[in-house]
Amino acid sequence: MRDILRKLILYFDSLNFNYKTAFLVFIIAGGMICIIILSQISIFTMKQDFDTLFDKRTKSLMQLEQVKDSYKVNIQDTLFDFEKKQINYAQTIEVLQLAQEIIDKNWILYKQEIELQNREFLTSFVKDSIIKEENYYENKPLKDSIIKNIDKKNELIKNEINKITLIKPDDYFVNLNLEINAISIYLTSLINYDLSLAINEKRNTDRIFNTIMIFSIISIFIVFLFSVILSLFIIGNFKKLHNSLAQKVNEKTKELQNLNNSLEKKISKEVLQNRKKDIIMFQQARFASLGEMLNNIAHQWRQPLGSITMIIQSFQTKMSLGKLTPEFIDEKVNDALLLANNMSTTLDDFRNFFSPNKIKIEFSIKSCIERSIELSKYLLTQENIEVKLKVRKDVEINSYYNELSHVFLNIISNSKDALCSNVDKNDRMIKIIVNKFKNHLVVNILDNGGGIPQEILSKIFEPYYTTKYKSAGTGIGLYMSKQIIEKHMNGEIFCKNIIHKMKNDKVFDCSLFTIKIPLQNESSEIKE
Containing domain of residue 481, as a range? 361-528
Q: Phi first, then psi: what are they for 451, rounded to 5°?
A: 80, 180
Kindly state whether residue 235 falls inside one of the protein's structural domains.
no
Q: Which of 201, 73, 198 is nearest to 133 (CA)?
A: 201
Q: Which pLDDT value is given to residue 525?
A: 36
Kindly state whether residue 434 falls inside one of the protein's structural domains.
yes
Q: Which pLDDT value is given to residue 377?
A: 76
Q: Which pLDDT value is given to residue 382?
A: 77
Q: Which of 458, 366, 443 is nearest to 411 (CA)?
A: 443
Count of structural domains, the chain: 1
How are beta strands 492-501 and 507-518 bridged, if at all? antiparallel
Kindly state whether residue 382 falls inside one of the protein's structural domains.
yes
Kindly state whether residue 511 falls inside one of the protein's structural domains.
yes
Q: Which pLDDT value is given to residue 99?
A: 84
Cβ count within 10 A of residue 437:
15
Kindly state whether residue 524 falls inside one of the protein's structural domains.
yes
**Residues contacting residue 40 through CB under 8 Å, at least 6 positions apart:** none
Kindly state whether residue 502 falls inside one of the protein's structural domains.
yes
Whether residue 493 contacts residue 512, with contact meaning beta carbons closer than 8 Å, is answered with no
Q: Which pLDDT value is given to residue 168?
A: 45
- Burial, 186: exposed, middle or buried (Cβ in 10 Å; 0-12, 13-18, 19+)? buried
What's the CATH number where 443 sits? 3.30.565.10
Kindly state whether residue 334 falls inside one of the protein's structural domains.
no
Kindly state whether residue 492 falls inside one of the protein's structural domains.
yes
Q: Could you give the CA distance from residue 78 to residue 67 in angstroms, rounded to a whole number?
A: 15
- Digits of tens for pLDDT over the chain (528 positions)? 677 767 776 776 676 666 666 776 777 777 677 777 767 776 666 666 656 655 666 777 787 888 888 888 888 788 788 777 788 878 877 888 888 888 888 888 888 766 555 444 445 555 555 555 555 466 778 888 888 888 888 888 877 777 664 444 555 566 777 778 888 888 888 888 888 877 777 777 777 777 777 877 787 777 777 777 767 777 777 777 778 888 888 888 888 888 888 888 888 888 888 777 777 766 666 665 566 566 656 655 765 677 788 888 888 888 888 888 888 888 888 878 877 876 776 666 556 555 555 678 899 999 999 988 877 776 788 788 999 999 988 889 998 888 888 889 889 988 988 898 888 888 899 999 999 988 899 999 999 988 888 888 888 888 766 665 444 444 567 887 888 899 888 999 999 999 988 877 888 999 999 999 998 754 333 333
Whether residue 233 contacts residue 20, with contact meaning beta carbons closer than 8 Å, is answered with yes
Q: Which pLDDT value is given to residue 446?
A: 93
**Residues contacting residue 124 through CB under 8 Å, at least 6 positions apart:** none
- Compute the chain's Rg from CA coordinates: 63
Q: Which of 369, 362, 434 is nearest to 398 (CA)?
A: 362
